[in-house]
C-alpha cells in the first residue's frame, strides 16, 4: 500500500526541476570539430544544488550555457534532451526561450561587470528586469527591487538602488548581480564560477548567501566551480566532469569520503596537497584530452595510473553504486583497485 508521503516522494523523484539526457555539444569552425560535451545526463530536484567540478576545459561552462541554448546556433550542434520546469528547452521558440531566461531560470556569471550595464543604476536594472517578467506598477517594482537588495544583505539598500555598478565594491556588485538574477523569482539558478573573481573572505560570504537564498526560496542550483571547497559550501551533489563527460557523481560527502574514479581521486588529492581555496587545479600529471580528436575509450585513460587495454577500447559504462553515487570507470566493480588508487 502506498501512503500520501510515498506518493509525494515519488512525485518529487519523478519530476526533477532540471533534467538533461545525453547532451552533446559540438563546435565547428576553422576546419575543426570540437566535441566539448559528450553525453552528459543529470537531474536536479526542486531545491537541490548540484556542483559541476573539473579541470579547465572539461566542459563545465559549455554544459551550463547549453542548458539555456546560449551557444551561437550557426557554429554549434546540440543534441540530447533538456527539460527545465517541464519545458522542452530544445523545442522552444525564440520568444519562449527569452521568457525562460531571466524568468524561470536566472543566470549568474563570473564577472558582474559583464552582467550589469554601466550606464544604468543598479535600481533601474533590477526594476526593468522585474517589469519585463511581471506586470506590476513602477512603485511595486521599486518595492520589489528594494526587497531583492535586502535579500542579498546589501547594507543601505535605498542608497544602493541609486548607485551605478562602478560605484560598488566587487563583493557588492556580485550581490547586486545575484539580486538582479533573483528579482524575477526564478526557480532555477545557473551560476558559473560566481565567486572566483572575489577575494577569499568575500567569496565565502557570497557562497553562504547563495546557500541561504537557496534554502529560503527553494531554488534549484547548478553551480560550476574549479574549487572543491566552494562545492562543499554550496552543493548537495557533485558531478565531476572530464573531457565533456560526467565521470563520477554523488552526494558531496560520499565523494569526499569514497570517491571511486581515479580522476576524482586525483582531483581531491591535488586539493589536499596544499591547494588553497580559489586556486586553479593544475597538479594532475599529463594534459587534458584534445577535444578535436577524442580517443575511443575512457578520456582519462592516457593520464590514469590504473589504465588497462580495455580502458582504451570503449567508453566505460556507468556503474550505479547506490544512493545517487555513479561512476564511469571499469575499476568501479573492483573495490580493491579503487581503494589502492585512493
Ligand X SMILES: Nc1ncnc2c1ncn2[C@@H]1O[C@H](COP(=O)(O)OP(=O)(O)OP(=O)(O)O)[C@@H](O)[C@H]1O
Q: Which residues bind ligand X (CB under 6 A)?
A: 27, 34, 36, 54, 56-62, 226, 291
At residue 220, φ and ψ (nearest 5 deg) are: -90, 135
C-alpha span between 122 and 112 (Å, rounded): 11
C-alpha span between 74 and 206 (Å, rounded): 36
For the chain, what is the largest distance between any 2 Cα atoms, rounded to a whole number of angstroms? Answer: 67
Smallest distance, Mg ion to C-beta of residue 5, A: 40
Smallest distance, ligand X to C-beta of residue 9, A: 34
Return the number of other C-beta atoms located less than 10 Å from residue 227's C-beta: 23
Q: In the complex with Mg ion, which residue's Cβ is closer, 109 or 263?
A: 109
83 binds, among Mg ion, ligand X, none (CB under 5 to 8 A by kind): none
Q: In the complex with ligand X, which residue's Cβ is closer, 73 or 86?
A: 73
Q: In the complex with Mg ion, which residue's Cβ is closer, 61 or 264?
A: 61
SS3 38: strand
C-alpha span between 246 and 44 (Å, rounded): 14
Q: In the complex with Mg ion, which residue's Cβ is closer, 62 or 327?
A: 62
Smallest distance, Mg ion to C-beta of residue 277, A: 18
Return the number of other C-beta atoms located less than 10 Å from residue 229's C-beta: 19
HSE-CB at 89 with a 13 A cutoff on CA atoms is 25
Q: In the complex with ligand X, which residue's Cβ is closer, 40 or 148?
A: 40
Smallest distance, ligand X to C-beta of residue 163, A: 30
Residue 246 is given by DSSP the state: E
Cβ within 8 Å of residue 337, ≥6 positions away: 306, 331
* Residue 299 makes contact with Mg ion by CB under 5 A: no
62 binds, among Mg ion, ligand X, none (CB under 5 to 8 A by kind): ligand X
Of 26, 38, 61, 328, the one binding Mg ion (CB under 5 A) is: 61
* Residue 328 makes contact with Mg ion by CB under 5 A: no
Output the residue with the shortest Cβ distance to Mg ion: 61
* Residue 195 makes contact with Mg ion by CB under 5 A: no
Amino acid at each position: 500500500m502506498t501512503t500520501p508521503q510515498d506518493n509525494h516522494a515519488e512525485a518529487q523523484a519523478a519530476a526533477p526541476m532540471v533534467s538533461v539526457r545525453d547532451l552533446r555539444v559540438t563546435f565547428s569552425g576553422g576546419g575543426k570539430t570540437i566535441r566539448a560535451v559528450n553525453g552528459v545526463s543529470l537531474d536536479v530536484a526542486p531545491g537541490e544544488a548540484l556542483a559541476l567540478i573539473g579541470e579547465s576545459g572539461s566542459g563545465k561552462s559549455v554544459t551550463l550555457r547549453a542548458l539555456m541554448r546560449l551557444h551561437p546556433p550557426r557554429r554549434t550542434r546540440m543534441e540530447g534532451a533538456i527539460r527545465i520546469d517541464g519545458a522542452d528547452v530544445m523545442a522552444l521558440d525564440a520568444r519562449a526561450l527569452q521568457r525562460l531566461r531571466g524568468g524561470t531560470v536566472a543566470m549568474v556569471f563570473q564577472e558582474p561587470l559583464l552582467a550589469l550595464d554601466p550606464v544604468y543604476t543598479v535600481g533601474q536594472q533590477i526594476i526593468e528586469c522585474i517589469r519585463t517578467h511581471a506586470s506590476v506598477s513602477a512603485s511595486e517594482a521599486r518595492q520589489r527591487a528594494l526587497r531583492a537588495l535586502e535579500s542579498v544583505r546589501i547594507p543601505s539598500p535605498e542608497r544602493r538602488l541609486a548607485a551605478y555598478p562602478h560605484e560598488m565594491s566587487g563583493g557588492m556588485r556580485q550581490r547586486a548581480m545575484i539580486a538582479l538574477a533573483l528579482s524575477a523569482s526564478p526557480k532555477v539558478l545557473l551560476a558559473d564560477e560566481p565567486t572566483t573573481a572575489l577575494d577569499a573572505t568575500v567569496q565565502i560570504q557570497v557562497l553562504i548567501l547563495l546557500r541561504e537564498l537557496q534554502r529560503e526560496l527553494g531554488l534549484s542550483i547548478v553551480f560550476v566551480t574549479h574549487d572543491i571547497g566552494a562545492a562543499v559550501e554550496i552543493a548537495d551533489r557533485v558531478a565531476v566532469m572530464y573531457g565533456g563527460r560526467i565521470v563520477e557523481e554523488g552526494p558531496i560527502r560520499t565523494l569526499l569520503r569514497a570517491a571511486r574514479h581515479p580522476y576524482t581521486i586525483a582531483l581531491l588529492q591535488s586539493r589536499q596537497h596544499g591547494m588553497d581555496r580559489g586556486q586553479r587545479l593544475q597538479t594532475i600529471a599529463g594534459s587534458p584530452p584534445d577535444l578535436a580528436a577524442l580517443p575511443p575509450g575512457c578520456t582519462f585513460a592516457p593520464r590514469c595510473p590504473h589504465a588497462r587495454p580495455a580502458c582504451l577500447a570503449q567508453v566505460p559504462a556507468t556503474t550505479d553504486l547506490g544512493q545517487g553515487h555513479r561512476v564511469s570507470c571499469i575499476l568501479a566493480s573492483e573495490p580493491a583497485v579503487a581503494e589502492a588508487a585512493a
